[in-house]
Amino acid sequence: MVKLSNEGRGKEVIIEENPLSRWLFTNTTSAWIWLVLRLYLGYTWLMAGIGKVTSDAWTGENAGAAVKGFMGGAIALAEEGDVAGWYAWFLENLVIPNAVVFSYMVAWGEVLIGLGLIVGLLTGIAAFFGAMMNMSFLLAGTVSSNPVMFVIAMFLIMAWKVAGWYGLDRFALPRLGTPWTIKRKK
């Protein structure tokens, strides 16, 4: 708990992180943990995406058919109360009429998320979009591996500074202006 005196009001207050959080989310010695999780999640997304990109119902002649079928199932679940009404409305009025566009977005999005996580490039951003897709699938009533993938993605988002240390982020983030500094032990 931080208590401010009268002099402290209006001034910036910095609350230090606990040692475990600091080690996990800002210390490169924890990067091997994030590498394992990143590779697992990236491989899962990449394989799912490749399966969709090579499927006729996702990106081929019948593009959009898989999305329409999946969304139709989600709307049926809404009638049973298993999917939120507002989400069913979103699916019925925005996604299904644009099923082809959403089909390509999902298929190629999964591939790009997977590649970003595997090579460790913009890891936090890739994990964010992966978490968004997992949440969309969960809202549509699909559980499967989505909760586990969502939790891993959330941890990768929190660890964005070091999650790509063993990857391209190590070189890309400093060029993009990430304020990394190397502190040497005394």
Give the separation between CA 153 and CA 170, rounded to whole angstroms. 19
Query: What is residue 37's predicted lDDT score, i.e. its pLDDT?
Result: 98
Q: Is 112 among the domain residues?
A: yes
Count of domains in the chain? 1
Q: Is the pLDDT of residue 8 over 90?
A: no
Domain extent for 144:
32-59+103-175
Which position has the token pair 């019948």? 62
Confidence (pTM)? 0.86
Q: Is 87 among the domain residues?
A: no
Please tell me the number of Cα atoms within 13 Å of 87 on its side-chain side.
Answer: 20
Please tell me the number of Cα atoms within 13 Å of 92 on its side-chain side.
Answer: 14
> Residues 13-25: pLDDT tens digits?
888 889 999 999 9
Structure tokens at 85: 């009404």
> Residues 24-63: pLDDT tens digits?
999 999 999 999 999 999 999 999 999 999 999 999 999 9
